[in-house]
């Protein structure tokens, strides 16, 4: 507590000095400085109010002798008043200080001063502008009628000027110099979350100057991005696209924000919920622009490396790609970029074959398609001329985007529909172990085939025990554990005997593995729902299993 | 219902009094009660704002209130709205009644401290307010924020103190049309009275600029269907004013020679041409007026130019500028203007030589020799 009071006192002096230096924020430097400090100022004012609200005038004056100066100066600074909630907090502070029954001259004068300050904040009659309000006053209107209209007309006029300016720039010559546009963006910074300003924000964001360097000030762009990410303003898609195209840090921040939402804050989000978050973020739509796509992809790539390719990240990339493809295909009216611009370092035939939506293929042809994918990938991987590490990982990364096919491969392997399981196994092995060299890969294939065979034998075995399952996943084949778990999980969901002991088995696993398996189940049910697969019963069972396991893990976390 | 109407009356009185020195007798209780009424009437407004019988009844009562002499004791206030006490309360005004009341009390220097203190406490979140009252402080804060925003953006609009500010002009025009509509709803014929009063009260150039702007405002975007609810945040937006919001204004202008003459004489010629292009009645009236005035011009041989007998009246230059702009305007105005020129010239005798008919010279000056439709 003592620390708090000390902080506030020190800060008081700091902010009073600032307020004096800013004046009415008429110079560019003072304006920029105010904009930099606005969020902290608001926090400080909130602290002041928290202290003031228990006090009357006398106590307040003893605690903060210069409070009058501070409040007075801040009230005359339109940048301060225009920002977020500052005006509300300042009003509250003034209301606190008002004396209900003034006993002496000082209190009377304080009251008069407070009243005039409040009038200054709220009423039009003391605007000091040239003749403003003569007609409005004659009509009998006051501030509540006047200001919303005035502001709306100002915003429309400015937005219009910007649009015309842009068009004129080519022929007649601009009426607004670039410097003024920069000033405009600076002036909008305190006002970002005011809904009336939205048309002007959009006009600024979509404004293209002649020069290649950015005319809008970066604090403006950052501020807009931040407000958008916190859902405080509702920008149109094209405005957001313009923002991200012209300001790289904003795009990066937006992507990381999405990632954080999906991975940390909403850990247990199902892929359906993830889809909602992702679409809301407007990133898939923006990613139809290849330069944006590449930046977002880069961030995904880094996340993958940092987390060693955990299942959660793979799921995020998969769902994001699905949303992206949807947005891309919907984008009929606008310029469509060739697919190669999104994945420039990969083979176009691979892109085409991976892009195929399983929904559009009859189920019987899935295996054939998977074989096709496998062939192409194998050829690329084993081709000596493309055997650069970078190229290998690019192709693997591309495959990850469309990881649904790997999931389908696992399922098909379990359903024994494949003519040549080896091809599908190769695909799955590549999915989990892309970095195998030739000899290792041969060994991997042998191990994988063995494991697959072992699992297939489980179908006939009754009664099935957890030990049987553990036998499969023992550390005989350490390098393909994830592949084995994937196949095993499919078994558990598709076989009635396996389903009975699924929960029992999963809770014996480590936390890390358990969450990996949960993630897989979520992905599988998501796919089944989307593709309208006729495995009705397994789908429902899987969903129930998932719910029960999630409850269980939450309980155990709590304990 | 009767109770509601009575409360409406009480509140209207209260609102009027809040801005006058009679508020000096108010105490805490009075403030509390008036805010209570304001809040209650705001809810009423919210419930009945789509047109219906209740709304009509409320509007009817408000109308009758205006015609009654205000009960202000010694100073018998006239039935016409007194600027000092704000506009007469309209149904829409009930929507922001609390704010109007609060602002009125705040700006009123004669309000005693305890009363103002009561008001101010209710603006704070911890004030002795019932939960439903919370909105007032927030709404006032929003107002302050908008005011600051307009102050911030004003320098960007680029007009200096000498130049008239088009955005202000436009806002005032919208407010004018809104007020006209409110007056028309209250009582037919009241708009004309209002416009007469404003014509007397305001400086001419200002007034004319606003009128011109109001007449040029774009019309409503589409037909006003029953499903189209009035815009609550912006009651004066063009879509809410109906298909021909400026009709009463135009009617007034055409029926009052003095303002019309001032319009023709003082408004910048291109602006006058836009107005005439938009409203055919106005075009006709202007052309008639110009013809009438031109009759007062005579040719001065010593100066070699047309001059007017009245120094305040129409000059040759003005006549020429007006007609030039009219002729350059899109059809049908340009056509109308040329036909007028031709017929006037013919009426004068159809001379070719300069100095004989003002119309001949005018046509020559403007380069309009051939009548339209011929070779």
Asked whether residue A143 is domain-assigned, the answer is: no
Q: Do A142 and B121 touch (CB under 8 A)?
A: no
What residues of A are in contact with residue B207 (Cβ under 8 Å)?
135
Please name the member of B114, B156, B198 whose beta carbon is closest to the beta carbon of A187. B156
Separation of CA B98 from chain center: 25
What residues of B are in contact with residue A101 (Cβ under 8 Å)?
113-114, 117
- Dump pLDDT digits (tens) for A77-102: 999 999 999 999 999 999 999 998 88
Last residue of a domain, one of A246, A265, A284: A246
Q: Are B62 and B55 in contact (CB under 8 A)?
A: no
Comparing C-alpha atoms, which of A305, A429, A314, A308 is closest to residue A378? Answer: A429
Which one of A214-223, A494-503, B60-69, B89-98 scores highest in mean pLDDT?
A214-223
Q: Tokens 């009582």: give the residue.
A: B187
Last residue of a domain, one of A223, A246, A269: A246
Domain shared by A157 and A100, yes or no: no
Domain shared by A66 and A122, yes or no: yes
- Determine the pLDDT at residue B347: 83
DSSP A262: I
Residue B300, H or E segment: strand B297-300
DSSP B232: S
Return the SS3 of B80.
Answer: coil
- Dump pLDDT digits (tens) for A339-354: 889 998 888 889 999 9
Separation of CA A516 from chain center: 23
Q: Do A100 and B117 touch (CB under 8 A)?
A: yes
Cis peptide before A463 (omega within 30 of 0): yes
Asked whether residue A210 is domain-assigned, the answer is: yes
Asked whether residue A58 is domain-assigned, the answer is: yes
pLDDT higher at A182 or A477 = A182
pLDDT higher at A212 or A191 = A191
What are the φ/ψ torsions at residue B225 (nearest 5 degrees)?
-80, 170
Top residue of B156, B158, B211, B249 to mutate, by most chain A CBs within 10 Å, is: B156
Q: Are A227 and A252 in contact (CB under 8 A)?
A: no
| Band of pLDDT at residue A499, cut at 50, 70 and 90 | confident
| Band of pLDDT at residue A20, cut at 50, 70 and 90 | very high
Burial of A479 (0-12, 13-18, 19+ CB in 10 A): middle
Examine the pLDDT at B356 and tell me if it is beyond 60: yes
The chain-wide mean pLDDT, for chain B, equals: 78
The b-or-e profile of B336-355 (16+ CB within 10 A means b, else e) is: bbbebbbebbeeeeeeeeee
Domain shared by A240 and A186, yes or no: yes
The chain-wide mean pLDDT, for chain A, equals: 86
Helix axes A311-330, A290-306, angle to 10 degrees: 170
- Dump pLDDT digits (tens) for A204-243: 999 887 677 888 999 999 999 999 999 999 999 999 999 9
Return the SS3 of A331.
Answer: coil
- Determine the pLDDT at residue B363: 81
Domain shared by A158 and A109, yes or no: no
Please name the member of A118, A140, A191 whose beta carbon is closest to the beta carbon of B106. A118
- Shortest distance between the Cα of B286 and any Cα of chain A, in A, equals 25
- Dump pLDDT digits (tens) for A387-437: 677 788 889 999 999 999 999 999 888 887 667 888 899 999 999 988 877
Give CA–CA dist A158/B159, Å, rounded.
Answer: 12
Asked whether residue A167 is domain-assigned, the answer is: no
Domain shared by A157 and A111, yes or no: no
Domain shared by A119 and A182, yes or no: no
Q: What domain range is A237 assigned to?
A: 151-162+177-246
Q: Residue A537 is encoded by which pair of tokens?
A: 């019963």
- Overall average pLDDT of the A508-535 stretch: 84
Q: How many helices (H) and strands (E) does chain B have?
A: 16, 2
- Shortest distance between the Cα of B155 and any Cα of chain A, in A, equals 10
| Band of pLDDT at residue A288, cut at 50, 70 and 90 | very high
| Band of pLDDT at residue B232, cut at 50, 70 and 90 | very low
Examine the pLDDT at B220 and tell me if it is beyond 90: no
Last residue of a domain, one of A196, A225, A246: A246
Q: Are B215 and B281 in contact (CB under 8 A)?
A: no
From A280-294, B75-89, B153-167, the region with the lowest mean pLDDT: B75-89
Burial of B23 (0-12, 13-18, 19+ CB in 10 A): buried
- Compute CA distances A187 → A37, A80, B115, whole Å: 14, 11, 38
From A42-46, A499-503, B78-82, B236-240, the region with the lowest mean pLDDT: B78-82
Examine the pLDDT at A4 and tell me if it is beyond 60: no
Taking phi over 0 as left and psi of -120 to 50 as alpha, with beta for the rest, A282 belongs to left
Asked whether residue A57 is domain-assigned, the answer is: yes
- Determine the pLDDT at residue A460: 78
Which one of A375-384, A437-446, B256-265 scores highest in mean pLDDT?
B256-265
Return the SS3 of A204.
Answer: helix
Asked whether residue A502 is domain-assigned, the answer is: no
- Dump pLDDT digits (tens) for B123-153: 888 766 555 556 888 889 999 999 999 889 9
- Overall average pLDDT of the B325-329 stretch: 87
Domain shared by A117 and A181, yes or no: no
| Band of pLDDT at residue B161, cut at 50, 70 and 90 | low
DSSP B304-326: TEEEESSTTS--HHHHHHHHHHH
Give CA–CA dist B228/A18, Å, rounded.
Answer: 50
Comparing C-alpha atoms, which of A222, A168, A224, A171 is closest to residue A198? Answer: A224
> Percent of chain A at pLDDT above 70?
90
- Overall average pLDDT of the A456-461 stretch: 82
Q: Do A141 and B175 touch (CB under 8 A)?
A: yes
Domain shared by A106 and A155, yes or no: no
The angle formed by the CA atoms of residues A528, A529 and A531, to the nearest 5 degrees, is 65
- Compute CA distances A20 → A32, A63, A94, B152, whole Å: 15, 20, 19, 19
Q: Do A139 and B125 touch (CB under 8 A)?
A: no
Examine the pLDDT at A54 and tell me if it is beyond 80: yes
Asked whether residue A314 is domain-assigned, the answer is: no
- Overall average pLDDT of the A40-57 stretch: 91
- Determine the pLDDT at residue A6: 57
Q: Tokens 């001259």: give the residue.
A: A105
Separation of CA A134 from chain center: 49
How many other C-beta atoms can be found within 10 angstroms of the C-beta atom of residue B309? Answer: 8
What residues of A are in contact with residue B157 (Cβ under 8 Å)?
154, 157-158
- Shortest distance between the Cα of B38 and any Cα of chain A, in A, equals 15
Asked whether residue A19 is domain-assigned, the answer is: yes
Which residue of A lies nearest to B118 if distances are taken between CA atoms?
A100
Domain shared by A20 and A117, yes or no: yes
The b-or-e profile of A224-250 (16+ CB within 10 A means b, else e) is: bbbbbbeeebebeeebbbbbbebbeeb
Domain shared by A183 and A108, yes or no: no
- Overall average pLDDT of the A186-201 stretch: 94
Comparing C-alpha atoms, which of A22, A60, A53 is closest to residue A38? Answer: A22
Comparing C-alpha atoms, which of A511, A520, A513 is closest to residue A546? Answer: A520
Examine the pLDDT at A127 and tell me if it is beyond 70: no
Domain shared by A19 and A120, yes or no: yes
Which one of A13-22, A413-422, B306-315 scores highest in mean pLDDT?
A13-22
- Dump pLDDT digits (tens) for B105-117: 888 888 889 999 9
Examine the pLDDT at B184 and tell me if it is beyond 90: no
- Overall average pLDDT of the B235-258 stretch: 74
- Determine the pLDDT at residue A510: 86
- Determine the pLDDT at residue B373: 47
Instruction: Give the total number of structural domains in chain A.
Output: 2
- Determine the pLDDT at residue B163: 60
- Compute CA distances A269 → A265, A297, A312, A327, B369, whole Å: 9, 21, 10, 22, 81
- Shortest distance between the Cα of A294 and any Cα of chain B, in A, equals 38
Domain shared by A109 and A158, yes or no: no
- Determine the pLDDT at residue A345: 86
Q: Do B81 and A140 touch (CB under 8 A)?
A: yes
Q: Do A139 and B148 touch (CB under 8 A)?
A: no
- Determine the pLDDT at residue A535: 58
- For A161-180, the three-class secondary structure string (H helix, E strand, C coil) is HHHHHHHHCCCCCCCCCHHH
Q: Do B152 and A78 touch (CB under 8 A)?
A: yes
Examine the pLDDT at A254 and tell me if it is beyond 90: yes
């Amino acid at each position: 507590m003592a620390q708090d009071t000390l902080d506030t006192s020190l800060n008081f002096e700091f902010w009073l000095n600032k307020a004096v230096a800013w004046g009415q924020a008429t110079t560019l430097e003072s304006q920029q400085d105010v904009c930099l400090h606005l969020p902290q100022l608001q926090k400080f004012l909130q602290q002041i109010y928290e202290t003031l609200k228990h006090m009357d005038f006398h106590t307040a004056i003893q605690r903060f002798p210069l409070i009058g100066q501070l409040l007075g100066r801040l009230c005359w600074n339109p940048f301060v008043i225009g920002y977020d909630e500052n005006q509300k907090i300042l009003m509250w502070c003034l209301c606190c200080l008002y004396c209900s029954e003034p006993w002496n001259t000082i209190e009377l004068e304080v009251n008069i001063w407070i009243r005039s300050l409040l009038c200054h904040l709220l009423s039009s009659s003391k605007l000091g502008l040239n003749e403003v309000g003569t007609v409005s006053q004659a009509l009998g209107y006051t501030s509540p009628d006047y200001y919303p209209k005035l502001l709306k007309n100002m915003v429309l006029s400015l937005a219009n000027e910007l649009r015309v300016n842009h068009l004129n720039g080519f022929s007649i010559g601009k009426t607004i110099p670039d410097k003024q546009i920069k000033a405009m963006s600076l002036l909008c910074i305190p006002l970002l979350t005011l809904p009336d300003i939205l048309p002007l924000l959009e006009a600024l964001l979509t404004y293209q100057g002649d020069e290649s360097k950015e005319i809008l000030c970066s604090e403006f762009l950052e501020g807009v991005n931040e407000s958008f990410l916190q859902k405080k303003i509702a920008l149109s898609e094209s405005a957001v696209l313009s923002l991200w195209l012209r300001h790289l840090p904003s795009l990066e921040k937006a992507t990381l924000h999405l990632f954080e939402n999906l991975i940390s804050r909403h850990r247990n989000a199902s892929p359906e919920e993830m889809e909602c978050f992702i679409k809301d973020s407007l990133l898939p739509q923006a990613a139809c622009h290849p330069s944006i796509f590449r930046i977002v992809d880069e961030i995904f790539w880094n996340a993958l490396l940092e987390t060693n390719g955990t299942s959660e990240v793979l799921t995020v990339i998969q769902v994001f790609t699905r949303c992206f493809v949807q947005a891309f295909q919907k984008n009929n009216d606008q310029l469509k970029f060739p697919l190669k611009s999104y994945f420039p370092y990969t083979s176009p035939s691979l892109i085409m074959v991976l892009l195929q939506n399983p929904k559009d293929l009859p189920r019987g042809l899935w295996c054939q398609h998977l074989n096709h994918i496998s062939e192409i990938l194998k050829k690329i991987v084993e081709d000596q001329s493309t055997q650069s590490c970078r190229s290998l990982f690019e192709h693997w990364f591309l495959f990850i985007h469309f990881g649904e096919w790997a999931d389908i491969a696992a399922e098909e392997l379990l359903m024994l529909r494949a003519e040549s399981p080896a091809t599908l196994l190769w695909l799955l092995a590549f999915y989990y172990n892309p970095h195998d060299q030739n000899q290792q890969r041969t060994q991997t294939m042998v191990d994988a085939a063995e494991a697959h065979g072992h699992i297939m034998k489980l179908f006939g075995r009754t009664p099935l025990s957890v030990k049987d399952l553990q036998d499969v996943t023992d550390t005989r084949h350490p390098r393909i554990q994830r592949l084995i778990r994937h196949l095993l999980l499919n078994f558990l969901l598709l076989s009635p005997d396996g389903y009975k002991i699924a929960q029992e088995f999963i809770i014996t696993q480590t936390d890390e593995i358990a969450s990996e398996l949960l993630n897989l189940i979520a992905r599988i049910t998501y796919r089944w729902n989307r593709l309208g697969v006729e495995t009705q019963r397994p789908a429902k069972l899987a969903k129930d299993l998932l719910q029960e396991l999630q409850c269980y893990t939450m309980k155990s976390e709590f304990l | 219902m009767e109770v509601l109407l009575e409360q409406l009356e009480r509140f209207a009185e209260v609102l009027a009094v809040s801005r006058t020195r009679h508020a000096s007798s108010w105490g805490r209780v009075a403030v509390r009660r008036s805010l209570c009424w304001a809040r209650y009437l705001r809810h009423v407004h919210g419930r009945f704002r789509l047109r219906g019988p209740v709304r009509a009844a409320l509007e009817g009562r408000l109308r009758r209130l205006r015609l009654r002499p205000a009960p202000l004791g010694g100073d018998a206030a006239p039935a016409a709205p007194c600027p000092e006490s704000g506009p007469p309360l309209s149904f829409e005004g009930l929507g922001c009644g609390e704010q109007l009341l609060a602002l009125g009390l705040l700006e009123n220097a004669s309000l005693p401290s305890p009363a103002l203190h009561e008001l101010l406490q209710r603006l704070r979140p911890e004030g002795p307010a019932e939960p439903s009252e919370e909105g007032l402080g927030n709404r006032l804060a929003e107002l302050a924020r908008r005011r600051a925003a307009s102050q911030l953006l004003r320098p960007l609009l680029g007009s200096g103190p000498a130049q008239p500010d088009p955005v202000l002009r436009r806002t005032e025009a919208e407010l004018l049309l809104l007020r006209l509509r409110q007056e028309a709803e209250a009582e037919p014929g009241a708009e004309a009275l209002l416009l007469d009063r404003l014509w007397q009260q305001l400086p001419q150039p200002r007034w004319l600029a606003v009128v011109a702007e109001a007449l040029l405002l774009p019309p409503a975007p589409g037909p006003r269907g029953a499903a189209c609810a009035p815009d609550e945040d912006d009651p004066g937006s063009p879509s809410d004013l109906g298909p021909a919001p400026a009709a009463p204004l135009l009617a007034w202008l055409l029926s009052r020679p003095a303002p019309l003459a001032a319009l023709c004489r003082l408004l910048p010629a291109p602006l006058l041409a836009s107005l005439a292009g938009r409203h055919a009645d106005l075009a006709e009236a202007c052309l008639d007026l110009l013809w009438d005035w031109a009759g007062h011009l005579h040719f001065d041989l010593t100066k070699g130019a047309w001059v007017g007998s009245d120094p305040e009246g129409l000059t040759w230059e003005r006549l020429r500028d007006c007609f030039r702009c009219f002729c350059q305007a899109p059809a049908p105005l340009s056509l109308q203007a040329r036909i007028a020129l031709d017929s006037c010239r013919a009426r004068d005798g159809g001379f070719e030589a300069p100095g004989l008919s003002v119309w001949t010279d005018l046509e020559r000056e403007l380069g309009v020799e051939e009548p339209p439709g011929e070779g």
